[in-house]
Amino acid sequence: MAHIEEHKETQIAQTEKQNYVMLNLGKTPDYGMPAFIQVVKRSLSLELLKGLGVTFREMINGLFRGKMHTTKYPFEKLPIAPRYRAIHEMLRLLESGHYRCIGCGLCEKICISNCIAMETRYDENQRKEVSEYTINFGRCIFCGYCAEVCPELAIVHGGRYETAGEQRAGFSLFEDMLTPIDKLKEQKEFAGFGSVSPNADENIKKTPLAY
């Protein structure tokens, strides 16, 4: 996995270190003598061999110095960006373990591909309960509006991006997306759409609460 960590280091942030230099190659000769002279010059200075040198060096680097780029994809996976919008997850409250969804239906309303459907009911504790919840991933375009509009940070995007299917419609139920109760400790907050911005505190107006 070492090279995966290294891969992260060679992301765009590292661009500055690569020191690109623009070569001054002069004017390209069109024909005749100047072109001939250029060929002779380049041939005699063995420029072609430099190219061979570079590729050979890279081969040595790759083979013997552990600088191979390849990630063996289905067996090894690169970590995806925290704001990436893949298959949805339903989060739980960390304290009680109860799911966060309150059944307000905003995700259903805002969904532009109309792929979310939910049913709610009045439960025995006089609370609104989500009795059915499905997302049709065959229609979902992963726009992230549902996560953005969710007032409870209940529906978020997760990291499961392998979504190839054999059918057009692919329904996912509430329980499939819900964090398993035994994995509650591993539940992570989503950093993308709908999450609390780092400067959220600055944007909140003070409400008097004197008691």
Partner 1 sequence: MDALMIGTIIKILIILLIVSAIAGFGTYIERKVLAFMQRRLGPMHVGPFGLLQIAADGIKLFTKEDIIPQNANKFIFSLAPTITAATAFIAMAALPLFPTFTIPEALPLIGGAIVPSVIADINIGILFILGTMAAGLYGPLLAGMAQSNKWGILGSARTAVQFLSYEVVTGLSVLAPIMLVGSLSLIDFNDAQIGGIGSWLIWQQPVAFILFLIAGFAETNRTPFDLLEHEAEIISGYVTEYSGLRWGMFFIGEYTNMVTISIIAAVVFCGGYNDIGFVSGWLLFILKVVFFFFLMLWVRAAWPHVRPDQMMWLCWKVLMPLAVVNVVITGIIIML
Partner 2 sequence: MEEIENNGQISLTIDGKVCVSKEGEYILNIARANGIFIPAICYLTRCSPTLACRICLVEADGKRVYSCNTKAKDGMNVVVSNEEILEERRAIMQVYDVNHPLQCGVCDQSGSCELQNYTLELGVDEQPYKIADVKRESSNWSSVLHYDPALCIVCERCVTVCKDMIGDSALTTGPREGEGLDKDLKETMPKDAYAMWNKLQKSIIVPSNDTDKTNCSDCGECLSVCPVGALVSRDFMYTSNAWELQKIPATCAHCSSGCQIYYEVKPTAIANRDKKIYRVTNEWNYVSLCGAGRFGYDFENKTATKDQKALKLAIKAIQKADAIRFNSIITNEEALMLQSLKEKLGVKLINSDAKAFKDFMSHYANAKGSNLSDGNIRTMMQESDFIISVGSALRHDNPNVRYLFNNIQKLNKGAGLYFHPVGDKLIESLGKNVACITNNINSEEAVLYWILDNFADKDKLPKEVNDYLSSLSTISKKIVTETIMEDVVEVVVDEESGESKEVTKKVPKKLEREIEVKESKLLEMFNAPSDFADILEKFLAKKENFSLVVGEDLYFHPRSKNLAILVALIESSTPFNVAIIPPKTNSLGVSLICDLDDECSGYVVGYNEAGDFRLSALGNGDLDMPALNQQEGTLTNMHKIVVPTNAALSYDGYTLNDILNELGFGERLTIDWTKKLPAKKGFESREFDSLPNGYNNDGSENRGYSLKSQKTKVTQPLPEQITLGDVSGEVVAYRCNPQRQFNEFTATAHQIFEPFALYVSEEKATQLGKKVKIDLDGTKFVLEVKVDDRMSGDIVKLPDFKHSFEIYKFFGQNRFKSITIGKA
Which is nearer to partner 2, 19 or 167 (by Cβ)?
A: 167
Ligand-binding annotation for 115, yes or no, is no
Both structure tokens of 196: 């609390």
Ligand-binding annotation for 140, yes or no, is yes
User: Using CB distances below 5 to 8 A depending on partner kind, what does residue 129 bind out of partner 1, partner 2, none?
Assistant: partner 2
Which is nearer to partner 2, 134 or 187 (by Cβ)?
A: 134
Task: Tell me the closest approach of the beta carbon of residue 90 to partner 2, in angstroms.
Answer: 15
Handedness of CA 186, 192, 198, 204 (dihedral sign): negative
Which residue pairs from 55-58 have beta carbons closer than 8 angstroms and sit at least 24 positions apart in sequence? none
112: Cβ contacts below 8 Å, ≥ 6 apart: 141, 143, 145
Q: Return the residues of window 18-77 that contact partner 1 according to CB under 8 A.
A: 36, 39, 48, 51-52, 54-56, 58-59, 61-63, 67-70, 72
User: Using CB distances below 5 to 8 A depending on partner kind, what does residue 46 bind out of partner 1, partner 2, none?
Assistant: none
User: Using CB distances below 5 to 8 A depending on partner kind, what does residue 103 bind out of partner 2, partner 1, none?
Assistant: partner 2
Q: How far apart are CA 190 and CA 34, in angstroms?
A: 62
Which is nearer to partner 1, 36 or 161 (by Cβ)?
A: 36
> Checking DSSP bridges between strand 171-173 and strand 88-90, what pairing results, if any?
unpaired
If we measure between CA atoms, which residue out of 181, 177, 25, 5 comes closest to residue 93? 181
Residues that bind partner 2 (CB under 8 A): 102-106, 108-109, 117-122, 126-129, 132, 134, 151-152, 205, 207-211
Task: Give the residue carrying structure tokens 């549902």.
Answer: 146
Which is nearer to partner 1, 2 or 204 (by Cβ)?
A: 2
Which DSSP string corresponds to 124-169?
TTSSEEEEEEEEETTT-----HHHHH-TTS-EEE-S------SSS-
| Residues contributing to the site for partner 1 (CB under 8 A) | 36, 39, 48, 51-52, 54-56, 58-59, 61-63, 67-70, 72
